[in-house]
Amino acid sequence: AQTVTQSQPEMSVQEAETVTLSCTYDTSESNYYLFWYKQPPSRQMILVIRQEAYKQQNATENRFSVNFQKAAKSFSLKISDSQLGDTAMYFCAYTGTASKLTFGTGTRLQVTL
Amino acid sequence: GAVVSQHPSWVICKSGTSVKIECRSLDFQATTMFWYRQFPKQSLMLMATSNEGSKATYEQGVEKDKFLINHASLTLSTLTVTSAHPEDSSFYICSAGRAGQLQETQYFGPGTRLLVL
């Protein structure tokens, strides 16, 4: 079975600074996707960024980028120029051939002034 | 982007009653939908996979007679919590994806908060 581990329950960053959220996963599949989802207080799940396992290039979306280390099964999220609106719960997630999402336990990010 | 709605967004019911939650894909057809449960300050746990026109597939430990899932059309899946008890109080979220793109993108509904008194 696939597992996703987020070892940082809570993190804090000052506005305009950079923060990195960690995620590791375990799988024996070769075809899979990795995601970072944001869940603000409204609890609506919002896709932040997606990485296809067969692509070596790290995905980027504006201020959000990932460091995908396939051999190490590591998938960290970097948020640059942090904004107050980035305050949320962040979930790392995996999906393989079964298309079922497996989520990590989440990291609560607080952006402060 | 694709939109998924859930109804109701909030429901309070008495213990022993049944509650139905709807999940709709508004602008695309979804042959597969997923139902998740989330307790406060915890992660999303997959409950079941709902396939249009066939029986749902439940995750280990999820009572299929307790959580009835029906996926009667390509745009609607329903989750019925039967004989609800206080321990069923939770946040229920559905997700859906387009056929053939399920692995790469799923769209989430806004969730339904259930409180059983």
Q: What is the pLDDT of residues A69-83, one digit of tens each?
A: 999 999 999 999 999
- Rounded to whole angstroms, what are the CA distances from B35 to A21, A55, A78, B108? 26, 29, 29, 10
Half-sphere exposure of A76 (CA within 13 A, CB side): 13
Mean pLDDT lowest for which of A80-94, B5-19, B61-75, B100-114?
Answer: B100-114
Q: In this complex, how many residue pairs, one in chain A and one in chain B, have their CB atoms less than 8 Å apart?
A: 50
Chain-chain contact of B46 with A100 (C-beta, under 8 angstroms) = yes
pLDDT for B25 equals: 94
pLDDT for B101 equals: 81
Contact call for residues A106 and A4 (beta carbons, < 8 A): no
Closest by CA position to A98, among listed B72, B48, B29 = B48
Best probe of the B interface among A100, A105, A107, A109, by most B CBs < 10 A, is A100
Which of chain A's residues have a Cβ under 8 Å away from the Cβ of B105? 47, 50
pLDDT for B31 equals: 86
Q: Who wins on pLDDT, B11 or B1?
A: B11
Does residue A98 surpass a pLDDT of 90?
A: no
Q: What is the pLDDT of residues A42-79, one digit of tens each?
A: 999 999 999 999 998 999 999 999 999 999 999 999 99
Mean pLDDT of the region B44-71:
93
What residue of B is the nearest CA neighbor of A99? B103
Q: What is the pLDDT of residues B83-116, one digit of tens each?
A: 999 999 999 999 998 877 877 789 999 999 999 9
Which of chain B's residues have a Cβ under 8 Å away from the Cβ of A45? 44, 93, 95, 108
Residue B27 DSSP code: S
A91 interfacial to chain B (CB closer than 8 Å):
yes
Q: What is the pLDDT of residues B37-53, one digit of tens each?
A: 999 889 999 999 998 88
Which of B 41-60 lie inside 8 A of A, CB atoms?
42-46, 49
Comparing CB atoms, the residue among A47, A91, A97 nearest residue B43 is: A91
Chain-chain contact of A96 with B110 (C-beta, under 8 angstroms) = no
Cα diameter, chain B: 41
Half-sphere exposure of B39 (CA within 13 A, CB side): 6
Q: What is the pLDDT of residues B28-38, one digit of tens each?
A: 999 899 999 99
